[in-house]
Amino acid sequence: MKKTIFIVMIMAFLLCACSKETTETYSKSEFHLNTLVNVILFEDNEEIFDDVFSLISEYENTLSPYLENTEITYINNNAAEFPVPMSDVVSKVITESLNYSALSKGYFDITIGPLVDLWQISNTDITHFVPTSKDIENAKSLIAYKNIKIENQMISFEKNGMAIDLGAIAKGYITDQIIALFKERDISSAILNLGGNIFAYGEKADGFPYIVGIQDPDSRRGEILGTVKVTDKSIVTSGIYERFFELDGIIYHHILNPFTGYPEDNNLKSVTIVSDSSMDGDALSTTLFLLGLDEGIKTAEALDGIDAVFITKSNEVHITSGLQDNFQLTNENYHIVNEAY
């Protein structure tokens, strides 16, 4: 555990306090979920650090499709042969995922596993290549959330070769469980960062909101394009700059369209979701990116407690109505487009 001051650059976000005096904090970082996880507290509580990282390990060993002997791995290996019982945790995450699949008309689909495995965009240990159209069509034929059958907390697949990947929702679920632990232990305020899934928990002692910086998608050095003021909120971003490879001058990013089989190529560079629940933010950042600017904004405006910031390839910044008074543009390379939705 190390002692820090409360002006911290965390991955794609800048978190800082709007107070005249520096606030002393305590932090700990570990590598989990294939990313760096950082926890910042406003009180010295070594026991809660240990419990947080133990909780993350427990969920990773349940929800990961890449580790051996996890519940998701067992489901992927067997659910096409016979119904597999689900724990309460897996049942909750899969059920919520299917709700988002219905909301997005299939753009958000956890059966995208075969396509993720084909592209391997997040794998930094291989020489990347663009899959053949035949291989992409074969992977696409296995993607269909409606081919997941759930009955009496048992799950089965209707096709051999189907595979679940919870990469677009699991970190959000885990973040929410850590927040529940904080509430149970009477922790008053904290900052969580699970590889870019940020939660600014509670209220700061000085009465000011947290200020969270949104990553400039064109910068790979943590520079920001603007800030949002939040209290007790989740902030999650999906963008084309996060995980990608470049081949023959073309960038192939990790946000895959289940209908085309390719990284989504629309006018967006990133979508940031501000919400009460990090699981909502995690799923919606991917969903609204895939839906595109117009449909994404309409969807966000129709959902209670959800706000979003859309960054386009022409450097336009589109903000949902709930953030009109809480977003500040700080980068002159971008401009806000004020439209009524």
Residue 14, SS3 per DSSP = strand
Taking 60 as the threshold, does the pLDDT of residue 1 lie above it? no
Tell me the three state secondary structure of residue 250.
Answer: strand
Instruction: Tell me: pLDDT of 253 over 50.
Output: yes
Alpha-carbon span 214 to 196, nearest angstrom:
10
| pLDDT tens-digit series, residues 267-310 | 999 999 999 999 999 999 999 999 999 999 999 999 999 999 99
In three-state secondary structure terms, 184 is: helix
Q: What is the pTM of this model?
A: 0.92
Give tens-digit pLDDT for 237-250. Answer: 999 888 888 888 88
Instruction: Determine the length of the chain.
Output: 341
Give the per-residue pLDDT at 339.
Answer: 57
Q: What is the C-alpha to C-alpha distance for residues 237 and 73, in angstroms, rounded to an integer? A: 27
Sign (positive/negative) of CA torsion 51, 56, 61, 63?
positive
Residue 196: strand, helix, or coil: coil
Q: Among 3.20.20.450, 3.30.460.10, 3.10.520.10, 3.30.420.10, what is the CATH number of 2-45+188-336? A: 3.10.520.10
The band of 320, judged by pLDDT with boundaries at 50, 70 and 90, is very high
**pLDDT tens digits for 17-42?**
333 345 688 999 999 988 899 999 98
Hey, what are 270's tokens?
């990133």
Find the largest Cα–Cα distance for the chain: 62
pLDDT class for 203, splitting at 50, 70, 90? Answer: confident
59-80 average pLDDT score:
96
**Helical (H) or strand (E) element with 106:** none
- Output 75 or 4, whichever has higher pLDDT: 75
Out of 97-111, 137-151, 204-218, which region has the weakest mean confidence (pLDDT)?
Answer: 204-218
The pLDDT, as a whole number, for residue 158 is 98
Residue 84 in this model has a pLDDT that exceeds 80? yes
Q: What is the pLDDT of residue 220?
A: 67
pLDDT at 318 over 80: yes
Would you give the DSSP letter of residue 321? G
Q: Kind of pairing, strands 335-336 and 316-319?
A: parallel
- How far the first Cα of the chain sits from its last, in Å, is 46
Residue 271 · residue 310 · CB < 8 Å: yes
Cβ atoms within 10 Å, residue 24: 12
Average pLDDT, the chain: 90
Which of 339 and 166 is assigned the larger pLDDT? 166
- C-alpha distances (whole Å) from 315 to each of 115, 218, 243, 252 are 30, 10, 20, 20
Identify the pLDDT of residue 27.
94
Q: How confident is the model at residue 6 (pLDDT cuts 50, 70, 90)?
A: very low
- pLDDT tops 90 at residue 112: yes
Question: What is the CB-side half-sphere exposure of residue 274 using CA atoms within 13 A?
Answer: 27
**Residue 90 — φ and ψ, nearest 5°?**
-65, -40
pLDDT of residue 241: 83
